[in-house]
Amino acid sequence: MDYDYDVVVIGAGPGGSMAAKTCAEEGLNVLLVEKRQEIGAPVRCAEGISKEGLERFFEIDRKWIAREVSGAIIYSPDGTELKLSSEMAGNEVGFVLERKIFDRDLARMASKAGAEVIVKTTATGMEREKDGLRIRLKRMGEDYEVTAKIVVGADGVESRVGKWAGIDTTVKLGEIESCVQYLMTNIEFDPDFCHFWIGQKYAPGGYVWLFPKGESSANVGIGILPTMTKKTAKWWLDRFVQEYYPDGKIVEFVVGGVPVTGPIDTAVSDNVMLVGDAARHADPITGGGIANAIKGGYFAGKVAKEAVDAENYSKEFLRRYDEMWKNDFGKTLHRNKLLQKKFLKLSDETLDRLIRSIAGYNLEEISVKRLVLELIKKNPKLLWDIRHLF
């Protein structure tokens, strides 16, 4: 049978555009479908990414970067500051993106490589068609269908592609961070650092962040676990903003969810691969998902090429995509899920003690791994049960 496309990618976030770009660069006939009328907007993200996360795949274009930061400051519930600053590789902070520009550019790169990109078009369903799939699309009220050998589901946290394909991507209520964020101006902070407030006092089951976008403007947001508080994320954020930035002006408001399930068993089914938030690839500790979405998109594109060459779109064949993401960032997702469970049980007093134990240290690398290793060294009794994770 002749298919309209080798690959249809559903969703033009970083995961989908990277998958489409990689497929097109590999010479595949690929369609990238985005339901919103503008790629990259509205932004539902604090836009922080490590330098490494970008540099691994791109020559960095300065217009993608709103602000470059040199470190992070973590505030414990009693206000103790832990300053982490370094220029070394491996840092989990580095750039605050302008995602409106970055996401659009990534889709443009996919298009330049040969992908067909359509916006304002929603995938509404799919079914099996011989060896491939028939995908239902809705464009400005009009229904139509296309066929493809492979579908890459990059449709974000509310993904339906996984469900259509029978992949278990269930997210329980206690496994989704409920997030609210304001873009604020007229506020004072150190613009060379990303700022994090931790503990039940600020954000039950999550944290408050401030990621600089300029000298006096920043993404100020919160993620909470709805199972740990009866109040909404907005209630907690408003309380924080009133206390810390009462004179700030809110110029944008976003809400969204981040899945923090940890790694799922498989992100593939016959003819289908899931990437990014659709595959629950966001980090359970940091909530960061851009870098893993980009990596997943790249791996899925490479495996799509192998599958098309081999004319084999079976789940068994596509499992090599599972192997790639599991070997790359799957272990970190697993470890950070266990760390998240441990840290969720700690009281604010214990968090204060932990932060105090290493405040004043100059850690050479800003990563969850480095930070927790240092905490274990200083607090062996308290954290003995997680030492095996490293």
**Residue numbers of the site for ligand FAD (CB under 6 A)?**
10-16, 33-36, 44-49, 122-123, 154-156, 160, 179, 181, 221, 254, 256, 258, 276-278, 282, 287-291, 293
User: Is 368 annotated as ligand-binding?
Assistant: yes
- Taking the complex as a whole, the smallest distance from the CB of residue 357 to ligand FAD amounts, in Å, to 27
199 marked ligand binding residue: no
99 is in an annotated binding site: yes
Q: Which is nearer to ligand FAD, 48 or 71 (CB)?
A: 48
Secondary structure of residue 97 in the 3-state scheme: strand
Tell me: is residue 277 an annotated ligand-binding position: yes
CA dihedral (378, 382, 384, 388) positive or negative? negative
Nearer to ligand FAD, 19 or 354 (CB): 19
Residue closer to ligand FAD (CB basis): 46 or 210: 46
Least distance between ligand FAD and beta carbon 69 (Å): 12
Minimum CB distance to ligand FAD, residue 17 (Å): 8
Find the shortest distance in angstroms from Cβ 109 to ligand FAD: 14
Q: Is 23 annotated as a binding residue?
A: no
d(CA 312, CA 288): 33
Please check if 4 is assigned to a binding site: no
Could you give the CA distance from residue 45 to residue 180 in angstroms, rounded to a whole number?
9
Q: Could you tell me what percentage of the chain is helix, strand and coil, using 3-state DSSP and rounding each to the nearest 5?
A: 35, 30, 35
User: Which of 148/290 has CB closer to ligand FAD?
Assistant: 290
CB of 36 or CB of 337, closer to ligand FAD: 36
The answer to whether 310 is a known ligand-binding residue is: no
Cα separations in angstroms, 250 against 23, 65, 183, 187, 303 = 40, 21, 6, 10, 44
**Type of residue at 260:** V
Compute the C-alpha angle 356/289/152, nearest 5°: 165
Could you tell me the smallest distance in angstroms from the CB atom of residue 177 to ligand FAD?
8
231 DSSP 8-state letter:
S
Nearer residue to ligand FAD within complex by CB, 15 or 132: 15
* Structure tokens that stand for 97 in this block: 């993106």
Least CB distance to ligand FAD at residue 131 (A): 23
Q: How far apart are CA 132 and CA 151, in angstroms?
A: 9
Q: Which residues contact 327 (CB under 8 A, 6 or more apart)?
A: none
Q: Is 291 annotated as a binding residue?
A: no
Q: CA–CA separation, 30 vs 76, rounded Å? A: 48
- CA atoms of 371 and 390, how far apart (whole Å): 12
| β 5-10/30-33 pair status | parallel
Residue (154 or 300) nearer to ligand FAD, CB: 154
Q: How far is the CB of 15 from ligand FAD (least distance, A)?
A: 3
The reply to whether 125 sits in an annotated binding site is no
As a residue count, the chain comes to 390
Is 48 assigned a ligand-binding role in the annotation?
yes
CB closer to ligand FAD, 179 vs 308: 179
Minimal distance in Å, beta carbon 311 to ligand FAD? 27
- Phi/psi of residue 309, nearest 5 degrees: -60, -40
* Residue placing its CB nearer to ligand FAD in the complex, 95 or 245: 95
Number of Cβ atoms within 10 Å of the Cβ of 347 = 11
175 is in an annotated binding site: no
Nearest-approach distance from CB 359 to ligand FAD, in angstroms:
24
Sign of torsion over alpha carbons 369, 375, 378, 381: negative
DSSP 23-38: HHHTT--EEEE-SSSS
Cβ neighbours of 184 (radius 10 Å): 23
Pairing of strands 94-97, 65-68: antiparallel
Annotated binding site for FAD: 15, 34, 45-46, 48, 99, 123, 277, 289-290
Annotated binding site: 15, 34, 45-46, 48, 99, 123, 277, 289-290, 368
